């Protein structure tokens, strides 16, 4: 299953890189008329870039436009070793309907997974990415295996999911933590009540013993007077 990624080899950002709103995009196209394609985007610099969408499914003979937003640098960098990896795999209609996105990658054969690399390039000010034809002279598809030594750094970091997709999971975790906290608080209350009861019992026993001593002393004193 071969995807078409445009631009093929590079994604370019024009200097200065300290300014806000540094954005670029690339297109993922599925020319196949038989199967949809699942994809996810990995990078070696996840804290530097915001990618939307970071994963998804490209339907048959369709395309997805991916926006890449760069976090501005504090100082102008001299060179770049950043890169993106578009990992894709063809999926059947049943897999697309019945399986959650994360489980798709567990059932896909390793031979059906294809990787496409996009290296980041920092262009001089005034040189637009549309004019940087020297970066797109290679017409070959960028299909690279996981063990290819051409990667500048290992592509092991997935782009984080959008924050709104994390809200249900975080809400469930918060509910679980709240229930656990309430259970612990109830245990503490029960332990305090038990301790208070034990103290009361102990004080009561001390009072009984003291009262018994007083009564005994009175009886002894009364008996002594009777003998006199």
Lowest-confidence segment of 38-47, 88-97, 168-177 by average pLDDT: 168-177
Is cis: bond before 182, omega within 30 of 0? no
Class of domain 4-123: mainly beta
Tens-place pLDDT, residues 147-157:
333 344 445 45
Q: What value does the mean pLDDT take over residues 120-126?
A: 85
Domain boundaries, the chain: 4-123, 165-227
Whether the CB-CB separation of 50 and 71 falls below 8 Å is answered with yes
| 91-106 per-position pLDDT tens digit | 888 888 888 887 888 8
C-alpha distances out from residue 75 to 17, 23, 78, Å? 8, 18, 9
Categorize the per-residue pLDDT at 37 as very low, low, confident or very high, splitting at 50, 70 and 90: very high
Closest CA to 17 of 118, 162, 120, 119: 120
Cα separation, 175 vs 165, in Å, equals 17
Query: What does the pLDDT look like over 175-213, one tens digit per residue?
Result: 788 888 888 888 888 888 888 888 888 888 888 888 887
Q: Any idea which of 23-32, 72-81, 99-108 has the lowest mean pLDDT?
A: 99-108
Q: What is the DSSP letter of 16?
A: P
CA gap 203, 213 in Å, rounded: 15
Model confidence pTM above 0.75: no
């Amino acid at each position: 299953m071969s995807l078409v990624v445009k631009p093929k080899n590079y994604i370019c950002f024009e200097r200065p890189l300290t300014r806000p709103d540094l954005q670029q995009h690339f297109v993922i196209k599925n020319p196949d008329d038989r199967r949809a394609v699942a994809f996810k985007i990995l990078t070696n610099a996840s804290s530097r870039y915001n990618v939307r969408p970071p994963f998804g499914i490209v339907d048959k003979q369709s395309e997805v436009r991916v926006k890449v937003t760069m976090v501005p640098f504090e100082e102008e960098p001299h060179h770049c070793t950043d890169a993106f990896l578009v990992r894709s795999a063809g999926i059947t209609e049943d897999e697309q309907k019945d399986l959650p996105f994360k489980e798709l990658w567990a059932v896909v054969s390793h031979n059906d997974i294809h990787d496409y690399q996009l290296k980041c390039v920092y262009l001089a000010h005034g040189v637009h990415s549309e004019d940087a034809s020297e970066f797109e002279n290679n017409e070959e598809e960028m299909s690279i295996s996981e063990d290819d030594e051409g990667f500048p750094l290992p592509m092991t970091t997935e782009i984080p999911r959008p924050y709104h997709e994390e809200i249900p999971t975080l809400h469930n975790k918060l509910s679980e933590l709240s229930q656990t906290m309430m259970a612990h608080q109830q245990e503490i209350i029960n332990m305090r009540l038990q301790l208070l009861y034990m103290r009361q019992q102990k004080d009561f026993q001390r009072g009984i013993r003291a009262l018994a001593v007083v009564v005994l002393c009175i009886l002894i004193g009364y008996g002594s007077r009777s003998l006199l």
